Chains A and B, each alone.
Chain A
Amino acid sequence: MPEFHGPLQHVTYAATLWAILAPPLAAALFAAWRALFRPRAGERAVALVAVGAMAVSLLASAAHAVLLAAHAEADRFLVQHLWPMVRVGQLDASFDLALDPLSSTMTLVVSGVGLAIFVYAASYMEGDPAYARFFAWLSGFACAMLLLVLADNFVLLFFGWEGVGLCSWGLIGFWWRDAEKASAGTKAFLVNRVGDAGFVLGVALLYWGLGGSWADTDYVPDLNARFSSVEVTAEAADADEGPAVSTGPGVEAVDEDEDEALALPSTSGDGFVTLTTYSGALVFMDDARTPLQRAPGEPLRAPFVRFRVRGGLHSFRIHPGAGLDDFLVTHVAFGGGREIALESFGPSVTFRNVRDQLVARDAKGHRPFLEALLDKRGSSSMTLVTLACLLLFLGAVAKSAQFPLYVWLPDAMAGPTPVSALIHAATMVTAGVYVIARLSFLFVLSPVAGTVIAVVGAGTALFGAMAGLHQFDVKRILAWSTVSQLGYMVLAVGVGAYAAGVFHLVTHAFFKALLFLAAGALIHAMMSLEDHETHAQDVRKMGGLASVLPKTALAYRVGCIAVTSAPIPGLAGFWSKDDILVRAFTAKNIVLPGPLFGAVGVAAAAITSFYMWRSYYLIFEGAPREDAAKLHDAPQGMARVLAALSVGSVLVGVVFGIGPRLLGRGGETLLEEWLAPVLRDARAAFSRESLAIEWGVILGSYAVAVAAWALARSRYHGREADWVERERRAPLFLVSTHGFGLDALYAATVVPLVRSVSALCAEVDRRVVDGLVAFAAVVTRATAWVVGRVDDDVVDGAVRALSEGTLHAGERLRRAQTGRIQSYVYAIAAGVLAVAFLQYWLR
């Protein structure tokens, strides 16, 4: 009889997942080789390889998405085991790639938007002396991001996570000869370290928490009991209960299923065995000497699902190899077409394994691991799951530039514009949102953590928008816009609307890439008039450019409409942002009232609309400068990319966002349907969504956005000459323009603290550590001296004395060697006589 039952994650083995990841890696290596050893070779090959690699990656992503869609909904999970990486104790962190609808969406966005940015960068960076180095970092960046989204476990994800951080350092500080830019890269890297510390702690806490060392479960007392048999059931049985805390897990009534579960299961007919953990492991059934085989001579390796075995009792030995001990599962009853999974319980870093443990129910219908995770409280009154979620969220705060760690992002504008587009649109900053969505089954368990996340998200959306109000640097305006939009995504995942958060991530990838690349084209053009890029990016130096840069202006306008939904509704951001706002208004899986977050979101939307259109009118409308006629619009390569992204920004929202929901049919959006298998365990509660609320939110947010647009238009379209002065007098100008003084705060508190700590460390190093070393050196020298004396005088002395004694003795004894035989005979005779006398005496 299986010890557990539950809807475990089915996986399908896909031997080609590496094809998504490998091309950018190869391109990065090629470009790095060029940069290091062939710096004078042409740019063409580097650009071709990098762009081609992204294209191949996009094709592979698309092919796998199709492959994924071909599976039944619950089976949409592709896995590839590449090689065992870290296997120690109970830890199995293999180099395994996994693709489910969520990561498939991410790979499509990363490689798709990435491809557009690569094509653009190939022409934007033309003539840069470090062209190859740029593409080495850029391809590496894409590769790390793909690794991050394809990772099957925390360890691999962390590799991607750190790889993204490293490459961002290389890209933000790409023009490192400018000390300010180099330090911007370092700043991004260091701020992300803060989050990484939290992330690692969160992973460790979760790992420890699943270990059961503290929990009241007797399921995982030792390693041998690590594997249990789990009957895989459809999820329908308990689909509606969900782990929502309002119902309280563990209090569900044990219904009549109990008798059924306790009855001995039938063993007639065949059954199926499943093993999805310990990739690459072999399985030996019933003391057989050879492992189970898929076909003769072809051993069956984990992960596999539904391998047919005949009915009856079987026992299994799971042989993970790579130095790990074998695991035993005995007396598993098969038959009746039931599917039994051999599931490992206990500490795990594999996402789906953690999830499977949380959904597994024992014979009484309890979920011991879930309950343990929910019941356990630390020294503070926080549950373990809340603490783990908050620590993991700290990683997301840094990576996704949330309050109060968003300070690195505006400075990250120091990198070349395509880098800004890539970091902000498709990669890196979305990683935090992705991780929360990936772990949604965990985050949904903690309304407290969800509330904290939502507060941070809503605050960041508002503060980011306010900080963007009076910026003069076009890239900084967009940077603060990114911060603000990321706030929306985090707000969404905080209130439990994971699909909405990912939806906004996708639409944002398109319109933010579009806006950045349009800004890049603008800067590219302005550089011909200005000597320094600070001036080329300054909106005060622009104005009326729509007539000379029509393509760029059009692209920028489309981007503005997409992000603000004013004045034309229906572009990308309209659908995703409203989805988030509706969810925020109706959220129930948080401890604060949802409308609060919704109201903040609407306010941020209004401000967003104002500052985005402000930037548009300042740049493209009004009186042009005298020498504006000399400007040239975006070259062909860039313009095509802008066109493609514009089309994407227009369509992506409509395609994925139009919900049958809005028409009152109660269905879901396309993207929600697609993501449903991933998020099936993360059903956060929302209050009954009446269409009135939805339409109200949509119309309300649209109305304020249009009002803000109208205000921006009236103030900046035909602006007065002293508009800069008037802005400077605006309330909060100084605080908001400088990101609410967080940089100054850090400069006043954290930085001196860290510096003094580092000075202290240096002092300790110099005094204590070096002192210890010096002391050890003195002791060693003294010992060596003593040993040397002993060696010289005693050991060598003995040897010398022996040899010299021998020499002297020889010197003396040779005198006895007279050569006269007769004296010898005399001596012999004397000796014989002496012996004779001696014997006589002694007797």
Chain B
Amino acid sequence: MTPIGLTHYLVVAACLFALGLFTVITRKNAVGVLLGVELILNAGALNFVAFDHFAAEPVMSGQVFAVFVIALAAAEAAIALAIVLQVYRAHRSIDADALTELRN
């Protein structure tokens, strides 16, 4: 059995990214879309941590970036949920397909 290396982490992160993207594209509910975004962010954070771990000379910056990403995700969720709330107030709906005001 091969030891767990960088590739494994990257594959997991890629899968996570793909699932997140799929969620963002396919979900009708705006909140679901936000969930997908969280997945994508986490895939990125995993990559940072993995690269830092396997670097020849660990400098901890990857970990720091992961912390940044988590903080960023929290802030993003707060703002995005606020927007969703406003959208709901205006449209009485949070269906992503129905929000086509920017069409044409």
Q: Interface of A with B (CB < 8 Å)?
A: 814-815, 817-822, 825-826, 829
Contact = CB atoms under 8 A, between A and B. Distances in A.
Contacts of A825: 21, 24-25
Contacts of B33: 822
- The residue among A814, A815, A822 with the most chain B CB atoms within 10 A of its own CB is A822
A815 B27 CA distance: 23
Contacts of B69: none
A819 B24 contact: no
B78 interface: no
A814 B96 contact: no
B103 interface: yes
B47 to A, nearest CB: 16
B90 interface: no
Contact of A819 (B21, B25, B26, B104): B104
B25 A822 contact: yes
B96 A819 contact: no
B57 interface: no
A818 B24 contact: no
Given A829-B21, A829-B25, A822 B96 contact: yes
Interface string B28-50: 00000100000000000000000
Nearest to B101: A819
Contacts of A817: 102-104
Contacts of A829: 21, 25
6 contacts: A815-B104, A819-B103, A820-B96, A822-B25, A825-B25, A826-B25
A817 B102 CA distance: 8
Nearest to A832: B21
Contacts of B24: 822, 825
Nearest to B102: A819
A826 B22 CA distance: 9
Contacts of B27: 822
Nearest to B97: A820
Query: Interface extent on B, as a size class?
Result: 10 to 19
Contact of B103 (A818, A822, A826): A818
B7 interface: no
A814 B25 contact: no
A829 B97 CA distance: 18
Contacts of B102: 817, 819
Nearest to B36: A825
B67 interface: no
B104 A814 contact: yes
Nearest to A813: B104
Interface string B5-34: 000000000000000010011110000010
Nearest to B24: A825
Nearest to B100: A819
B99 interface: yes
B57 to A, nearest CB: 29
Give the 5 A-B CB pairs with smallest separation, nearest first: A819-B103, A819-B100, A819-B102, A814-B104, A826-B25
Contacts of B99: 819-821
A678 to B, nearest CB: 103
Contacts of A819: 99-104
Contacts of A818: 100, 103
Interface in B60-104: 96-97, 99-104
Contact of B100 (A814, A820, A826): A820
Contacts of B25: 822, 825-826, 829
Nearest to B21: A829
Given A819-B102, A819-B103, 11 more contacts: A818-B100, A819-B99, A819-B100, A819-B104, A820-B97, A821-B99, A822-B24, A822-B27, A822-B96, A825-B25, A829-B21
A291 B72 CA distance: 90
Nearest to B30: A821
- The residue among A817, A821, A826, A829 with the most chain B CB atoms within 10 A of its own CB is A821
A685 to B, nearest CB: 115
- The residue among B26, B101, B102 with the most chain A CB atoms within 10 A of its own CB is B102
